């Protein structure tokens, strides 16, 4: 019996289906070579998958590093197969009862490994998962909820796309099983475009049942804006910076007062690196949802290492730029709509008269809009232009509404509803369409959510969010006028398309969806903290089940409703309610002691 | 032989002021073995305390760590904290004496012993305070005419009378850095310790004043060596002080600031004839090590509660900050008052035994005495009534708590 057959026997004993499948597949993904130490190593497209000198030692170091943060009770999911040196090292290092799952995205790669490396002594203690990404994710989540992903990058890169797909599937599968409630602190900006989004995020998180503390810095906007009266540029900038720094310290004080599980900052939130570093020292996880174009606003580079998680609305180049700049975790998270705000509304006759039009555009006066929108003038339709920053608008002044005043959210929803064809032209500081235009602006989701019809400029990321049956998509500036003309005369088609886009938002593109994704991503990367809470491990029911070794806590935990999240502070409060004559158990005294220290905030600022 | 535990989780000053109660407990209960639980950084100095069998460190940082631990649930926290406590292998205590009215100290005492004397004696959740704790709280709040020393109040709290013999710490065996060792052990010098540090900024003596003091000492005593005392935080101040001194005095100072551990500092104090300063923590250590102390008390420091514990010590009390017989209103009036002048000359006169009795403006000189009711300070005025009031306080407060041992405090005291 050769090595492959011996390995097959080991596989067959625990996983007949996999053994059968492996028999049908031939290898060839990995090019096998001999390392300096005489053991096999592998290369793919001239890239080494394992050390060319000592793959065993390299794998041991990998396992050592990966297991540093692992907690008992976690299922370790390994991404990346290669020649399995790392899996063997991991298996050897871990206790017998720990569970190691290896995700096999390509059986041919596994066949290569089985041909040159023995599973003897460890392979039978590995759970092998293969198939389509969705199928694999389901298998993994059915086995355990507390997962820790370990990536062996050299091998993972061979099938990067498949593993990315698996990760997304896993995240979504885990999101479905979320029952735990987090305390999330949302830190908003002082003013600007991300301010309303902060509000939508707060509402979405609350609708998902989480406790949200909103640090709303817009309260300080009048004071901040008053600083504009300082004439000297350098002086003004310095004072504004100090003002912003103080707001950061205020945020920190809120964290100290009522420590959250997680701080979610929106773009332009006034959190300095010093504040973020202090949060990290205090073990507060932080994330930033950067809802700006990373090419236009580069301040993220100075903050990149301050946040534990970054969420961005652009893909590929953006993700790469953030990773290259030092982001530890960066994920794509497009914008969305808030169904309770962006919805169909009935307008009065007066409102219809003022806000209604055949064709409208609502937005700020960026250069490309100033250059393109005049083509919509002088046609058979009524065109209205809404929004601010339209000073010196030239010919567009004739259609500019309310003298270019800023339009609030409620009014914008009415304008969307009252317009037959809404023009949605993404901002760009150049001429024409942004050649690098990828992200989709919030207006896209908001118009769709209102059931309003829109003609939109093409964006590379639009196709995965909406399709051409839901909105008019133009690929060049020249297509705008014909598209508007066509759709203006097809009211029924417009209605059908708008309705489809509305449904798509409801199904996939609300802020609640985004927050589910965001929290699942954080949970997956932090299985022992956020992940554990999301999976309900801090709920009374779960704590009761795990407190068998601590029977003195059982009566206390039973006093809480089963699905309530129970933290140290809650248990301590219950103990204190026992009254002055109570005799306390050792465990109760320990809880009170820890609570005493928990309350101390003297070194937080 | 039964084991008892004394809990003192406060800072250095309070820990050293617990020496008298340790001595008294030994005297009254010689059959008991007494262990000590104190803040972890202070355990090295406790090893020099006479009469303590075992010393256990209270690691606040570890507890902070448990409280901040994000991973796992409550059961894991309790398990880890429980394991941490178990790892110390505390023996079963029949009794714990708790000196701090702080929830952590109360909880710790109940965690380690079924019976507690002192703060929290009626249970960990019972807000009723023992009479001595109530008294101390009242003194802290009102100040007034109190003459009971904190160290003696600790004795009362534990149900014993103040010690008849003042406890002394011997640290001659502790090794010093070689360069210090040689000078410190040179008996031809009269060594005067100058304490630089004072914790809070409002309790620091200005460097120029300390310069004058050092210059005065060396001018007055030709064989005098001024030993600069302080922690790592005072290193820069010590260097600045050296800068300010004219070169002729530099050979007469020994800068030990930031160079000694607490036991080494005790060794230094063992060798000092006098120690002068405003930081009560080191002053308490100095007096426990047999040095004579001259304290400059201003800001919140008050002679009657926290004056050096022993006979033959002096305290300059600044009246502007805490008048001896009146309520201290300085804090209500926007912070402590700092003295405008300092008793430099008068301190030198004391050392030279030539004090004329004249005090600088705003300062009062108090000197220490000891009797059956413990420590007290007088200032030469008619303070007899106030001193006698102590007996009344002791009789009023010496009510046995629920867990006090079968020892009659009053009998022992009156018998003495």
Find which of A286-290, A568-572, B135-139, B412-416 is predicted with most confidence, using mean pLDDT. A286-290
- Classify the C-alpha dihedral A421-A426-A428-A434 as positive or negative: negative
- A593–B71 CB contact, under 8 Å: no
Residue B332's pLDDT band, with cuts at 50, 70 and 90, is very low
CA distance A486 to A80: 51
Average pLDDT on B3-18 reads 96
For residues B32, B38, B42, B44, the Cα torsion angle rounded to the nearest 10 degrees is 30
DSSP string, B229-283: E--GGGHHHHHHHHHHS-HHHHTTEEE-TT---HHHHHHHHHH-SEEEES-HHHH
DSSP string, A368-408: HHHHHGGGGTTSSS-EEEE-S--TT-GGGGGTBGGGGPPPP
- Nearest-Cα distance to chain A for B84, in Å, is 11
The residue whose two tokens read 């290259």 is A324
Cβ-Cβ contacts under 8 Å, A592 against chain B: 103, 107, 124
- A597–B67 CB contact, under 8 Å: yes
User: What pLDDT score does A142 carry?
Assistant: 87
Which pair of structure tokens corresponds to residue B394?
């002791």
Nearest chain A residue to B122 by CA distance is A581
Print burial letters for A349-360: b (CB count within 10 Å at least 16), e (below 16): eebeebbbbbbb
All residues at 6 or more sequence positions from B84 whose CB lies less than 8 Å from its CB, including other chains: B62, B66
- B111–A590 CB contact, under 8 Å: yes
Nearest chain B residue to A587 by CA distance is B78
Which pair of structure tokens corresponds to residue A430?
């150049």
- B85–A529 CB contact, under 8 Å: no
All residues at 6 or more sequence positions from A227 whose CB lies less than 8 Å from its CB, including other chains: A236, A239, A240, A243
Number of other CB atoms surrounding residue A398 within 10 Å: 10
Nearest chain B residue to A585 by CA distance is B111
Residue ranges matching CATH 3.40.50.2000 in chain B: 3-164+395-415, 178-371
A568 to chain B, any CB pair closer than 8 A? The answer is: yes
Number of other CB atoms surrounding residue A400 within 10 Å: 18
Which pair of structure tokens corresponds to residue B401?
């708590």
Domain A183-332 top-level CATH class: alpha beta
User: What pLDDT score does A244 carry?
Assistant: 96
Residues A6 and A120 sit within 8 Å (Cβ to Cβ): yes
Nearest to B71 among A529, A575, A576 (CB): A529
- B74–A597 CB contact, under 8 Å: no
Nearest to A303 by CA among A264, A272, A258, A268: A272
Q: ipTM surpassing 0.85, yes or no?
A: yes
- B107–A537 CB contact, under 8 Å: no
For B53-119, the three-class secondary structure string (H helix, E strand, C coil) is CCEEEECHHHHHHHHHCCCCCHHHHHHHHHHHHHHCCCCCECEEEECCCCHHHHHHHHHHECCEEEC
* pLDDT above 80 (res B395): yes
Distances (CA, A) of A5 to A8, A120, A126, B132: 5, 12, 18, 82
Strands B363-371 and B374-378: antiparallel
Nearest to A568 among B77, B104, B122 (CB): B77
Beta bridge partners of A424: A456
User: Is A349-509 the same fold as A183-332?
Assistant: yes
CA distance B230 to B216: 20
Burial class (CB in 10 A: 0-12, 13-18, 19+), A585: middle
DSSP string, B302-335: -HHHHS-SSSS-EEEEETTT--TTS---TTTTTS
B114 to chain A, any CB pair closer than 8 A? The answer is: no
The residue whose two tokens read 């569970």 is A99
Residues B258 and B234 sit within 8 Å (Cβ to Cβ): yes
| H/E stretch holding A87 | helix A85-93
| Count of positions (residues) in chain A | 605
A292 to chain B, any CB pair closer than 8 A? The answer is: no
Share of chain B above pLDDT 70, in %: 89
Cβ-Cβ contacts under 8 Å, B104 against chain A: 593, 596-597
B82 to chain A, any CB pair closer than 8 A? The answer is: yes
User: What pLDDT score does B356 carry?
Assistant: 83
Task: List all residues of chain A from 207 to 236 with a beta carbon under 8 Å from chain B.
Answer: none
A339-342, Cβ contacts within 8 angstroms, sequence gap of 24 or more: A339/A449, A339/A505, A339/A506, A339/A510, A340/A203, A341/A200, A341/A409, A341/A413, A342/A413, A342/A416, A342/A445, A342/A446, A342/A447, A342/A449, A342/A450, A342/A505
Collapsed DSSP state (helix, strand, coil) of residue B344: helix
pLDDT tens profile B18-62: 999 999 999 999 999 999 999 999 999 999 999 999 999 999 888
User: What pLDDT score does B325 carry?
Assistant: 42
User: What pLDDT score does B416 carry?
Assistant: 29
Cα A334–Cα A336–Cα A341 angle in degrees, nearest 5: 165
Backbone torsion region of residue B224, taken as left when φ is above 0, otherwise alpha when ψ lies between -120 and 50, otherwise beta = beta
User: What pLDDT score does B74 carry?
Assistant: 65
Nearest chain B residue to A541 by CA distance is B73
Domain B178-371 top-level CATH class: alpha beta
DSSP string, A418-457: HEEEEEE----SSSSS-TT--S--HHHHHHHHTT--EEEE
User: What pLDDT score does A334 carry?
Assistant: 97
- A549–B68 CB contact, under 8 Å: no
Cβ-Cβ contacts under 8 Å, A586 against chain B: 82, 111
User: What pLDDT score does B267 carry?
Assistant: 96
The residue whose two tokens read 């004579």 is B292
Q: Count CA within 13 A, CB hemisphere, residue A101.
A: 21
Residue scoring higher pLDDT (A361 or B90): A361
- B78–A282 CB contact, under 8 Å: no
pLDDT tens profile B211-242: 999 999 999 888 999 999 999 889 999 999 99
A388 to chain B, any CB pair closer than 8 A? The answer is: no
Task: Give the distance, in angstroms, between the CA of residue B238 and the centroid of all CA atoms in the same chain.
Answer: 23
CA distance B114 to B403: 10
B78 to chain A, any CB pair closer than 8 A? The answer is: yes
Cβ-Cβ contacts under 8 Å, A583 against chain B: 123
Distances (CA, A) of B117 to A477, A517, B317, B402: 86, 56, 33, 8
Cβ-Cβ contacts under 8 Å, A575 against chain B: 125
In chain A, where the domains are located = 3-139, 183-332, 349-509, 538-598
For the ranges A443-452, B83-92, B325-334, B379-388, the lowest mean pLDDT is seen at B325-334
User: What pLDDT score does B409 carry?
Assistant: 43
- Nearest-Cα distance to chain A for B413, in Å, is 33
User: What pLDDT score does A68 carry?
Assistant: 86
- Nearest-Cα distance to chain A for B120, in Å, is 10
User: What pLDDT score does B330 carry?
Assistant: 40
A554 to chain B, any CB pair closer than 8 A? The answer is: no
Average pLDDT on B391-415 reads 65
CA distance A6 to A597: 57
* pLDDT above 80 (res B327): no
A569 to chain B, any CB pair closer than 8 A? The answer is: no
- Nearest-Cα distance to chain B for A571, in Å, is 8
Residue B411's pLDDT band, with cuts at 50, 70 and 90, is very low
Which CATH number fits the domain B3-164+395-415, given the four candidates 3.20.20.120, 3.40.50.20, 3.40.50.2000, 3.50.50.60? 3.40.50.2000
Q: What is the fold, at CATH topology level, of the domain defined by A349-509?
A: Rossmann fold (3.40.50)
Nearest to B78 among A587, A596, A600 (CB): A587
Nearest to A71 among B64, B71, B103 (CB): B71
Nearest chain A residue to B59 by CA distance is A597
Task: List all residues of chain B from 42 to 61 with a beta carbon under 8 Å from chain A.
Answer: 60
Number of other CB atoms surrounding residue A605 within 10 Å: 12
Cα B229–Cα B184–Cα B48 angle in degrees, nearest 5: 70
Residues of chain A under the 70 pLDDT cut: 145, 549-550, 602
A70 to chain B, any CB pair closer than 8 A? The answer is: no
User: What pLDDT score does B410 carry?
Assistant: 37
- Nearest-Cα distance to chain A for B362, in Å, is 35
- A529–B74 CB contact, under 8 Å: no
For chain A, the distance separating the N- and C-terminal CA atoms, rounded to the nearest angstrom, is 67
């Amino acid at each position: 019996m050769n090595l492959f057959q011996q390995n097959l026997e080991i596989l067959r004993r625990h996983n007949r289906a996999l053994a059968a499948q492996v028999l049908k597949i031939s290898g060839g993904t990995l090019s096998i070579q001999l390392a300096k130490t005489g053991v096999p190593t592998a290369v793919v497209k001239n890239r080494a998958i394992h050390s060319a000198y000592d793959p065993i030692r390299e794998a041991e170091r990998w396992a050592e590093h990966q297991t540093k943060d692992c907690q008992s009770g976690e299922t370790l999911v390994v991404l990346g197969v290669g020649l399995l040196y790392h899996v063997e090292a991991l298996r050897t290092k871990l206790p017998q009862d720990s569970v190691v799952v290896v995700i096999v995205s390509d059986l041919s790669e596994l066949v290569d490994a089985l041909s040159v490396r023995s599973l003897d002594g460890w392979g039978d203690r590995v759970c092998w998962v293969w198939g389509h990404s969705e199928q694999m994710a389901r298998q993994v989540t059915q086995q355990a909820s507390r997962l820790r992903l370990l990536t062996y990058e050299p091998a993972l890169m061979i099938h990067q796309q498949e593993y990315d797909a698996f990760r997304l599937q896993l995240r979504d599968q885990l999101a479905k099983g979320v029952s735990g409630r987090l305390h999330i602190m949302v830190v908003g900006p002082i003013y600007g475009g991300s301010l309303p989004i902060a509000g939508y995020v707060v509402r979405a998180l609350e609708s998902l049942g989480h406790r949200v503390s909103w640090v709303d810095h817009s309260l300080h906007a009048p004071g901040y804006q008053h600083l504009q009266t300082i004439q000297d540029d350098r002086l003004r900038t310095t004072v504004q910076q100090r003002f912003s720094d103080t707001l950061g310290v205020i945020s920190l004080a809120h964290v100290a007062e009522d420590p959250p599980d997680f701080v979610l900052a929106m773009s332009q939130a006034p959190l300095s690196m010093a504040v973020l570093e202090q949060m990290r020292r205090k073990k507060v996880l932080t994330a930033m949802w950067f809802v700006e174009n990373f090419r236009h606003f580069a301040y993220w580079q100075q903050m990149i290492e301050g946040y534990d998680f970054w969420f961005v609305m652009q893909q590929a180049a953006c993700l790469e730029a953030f990773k290259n700049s030092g982001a530890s975790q960066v994920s794509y998270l497009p914008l969305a709509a808030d169904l309770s705000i962006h919805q169909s509304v009935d307008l009065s006759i007066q409102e219809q008269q003022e806000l209604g039009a055949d064709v409208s555009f609502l937005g700020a006066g960026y250069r490309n809009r100033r250059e393109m929108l005049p083509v919509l003038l002088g046609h058979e339709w009524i065109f209205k232009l809404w929004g601010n920053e339209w000073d010196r608008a030239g010919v567009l002044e004739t259609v500019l509404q309310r003298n270019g005043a800023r339009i609030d959210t409620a009014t914008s929803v009415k304008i969307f509803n009252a317009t037959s064809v809404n023009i949605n032209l993404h901002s760009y500081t150049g001429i024409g369409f942004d050649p690098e235009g990828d992200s989709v602006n919030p207006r896209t989701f908001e118009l769709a959510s209102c059931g309003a019809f829109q003609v939109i400029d093409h964006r590379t990321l639009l196709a995965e969010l909406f399709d051409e049956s839901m909105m008019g998509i133009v690929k060049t500036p020249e297509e705008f006028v014909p598209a508007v003309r066509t759709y203006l005369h097809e009211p029924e088609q417009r209605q059908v398309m708008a309705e489809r886009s509305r449904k798509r938002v409801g199904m996939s593109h609300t802020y609640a969806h985004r927050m589910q994704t965001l929290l699942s991503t954080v949970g997956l990367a932090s299985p022992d903290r956020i992940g554990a809470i999301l999976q309900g491990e801090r709920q009374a029911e779960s704590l009761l089940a795990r407190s068998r070794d601590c029977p003195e806590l059982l009566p206390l935990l039973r006093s809480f409703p089963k699905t309530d999240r129970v933290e140290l502070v809650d248990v301590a409060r219950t103990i204190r309610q026992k009254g002055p004559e109570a005799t306390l158990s050792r465990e109760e005294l320990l809880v009170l002691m820890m609570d005493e220290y928990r309350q101390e905030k003297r070194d937080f600022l | 032989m039964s084991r008892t535990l004394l809990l003192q989780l406060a800072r250095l000053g309070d820990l050293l002021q617990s020496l008298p109660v340790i001595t008294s407990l030994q005297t009254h209960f010689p059959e008991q073995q007494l262990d000590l639980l104190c803040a972890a950084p202070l355990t090295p100095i406790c090893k020099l305390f006479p009469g303590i069998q075992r010393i256990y460190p209270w690691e606040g940082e570890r507890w902070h760590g448990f409280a901040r631990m994000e991973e796992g649930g409550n059961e894991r926290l309790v398990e880890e904290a429980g394991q941490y406590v178990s790892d110390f292998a505390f023996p079963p205590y029949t009794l714990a004496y708790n000196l701090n009215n702080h929830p952590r100290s109360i909880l710790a005492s109940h965690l380690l012993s079924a019976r507690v004397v002192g703060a929290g004696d009626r249970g960990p959740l019972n807000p009723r305070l023992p009479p001595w704790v109530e008294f101390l709280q009242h003194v802290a709040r009102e100040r007034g005419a109190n003459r009971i020393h904190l160290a003696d109040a600790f004795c009362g709290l534990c149900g014993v009378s103040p010690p008849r013999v003042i406890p002394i710490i011997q640290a001659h065996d502790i090794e010093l850095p070689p360069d210090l060792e040689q000078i410190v052990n040179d008996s031809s010098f009269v060594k005067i310790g100058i304490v630089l540090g004072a914790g809070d900024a409002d309790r620091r003596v200005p460097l120029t004043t300390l310069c004058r003091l050092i210059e005065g000492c060396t001018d007055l005593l030709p064989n005098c060596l001024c030993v600069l005392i302080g922690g790592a935080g005072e290193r820069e101040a010590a260097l600045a002080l050296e800068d300010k001194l004219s070169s002729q005095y530099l050979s007469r100072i020994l800068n030990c600031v930031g160079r000694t551990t607490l036991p080494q500092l005790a060794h230094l104090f063992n060798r000092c004839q006098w120690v002068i300063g405003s930081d009560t923590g080191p002053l308490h250590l100095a007096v426990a090590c047999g040095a004579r102390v001259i304290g400059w008390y201003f800001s919140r420091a008050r002679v009657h509660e926290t004056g050096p514990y022993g006979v033959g010590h002096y305290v300059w009390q600044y009246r502007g900050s805490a008048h001896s017989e009146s309520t201290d209103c300085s804090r209500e009036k926007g912070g402590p008052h700092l003295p405008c002048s300092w008793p430099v000359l008068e301190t030198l006169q004391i050392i030279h035994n030539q004090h004329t009795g004249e005090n600088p403006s705003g300062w009062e000189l108090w000197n220490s005495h000891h009797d059956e009711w413990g420590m007290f300070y007088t200032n030469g005025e008619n303070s007899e009534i106030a001193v006698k009031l102590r007996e009344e306080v002791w009789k009023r407060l010496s009510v046995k708590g629920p867990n006090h041992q079968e020892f009659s405090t009053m009998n022992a005291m009156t018998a003495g």
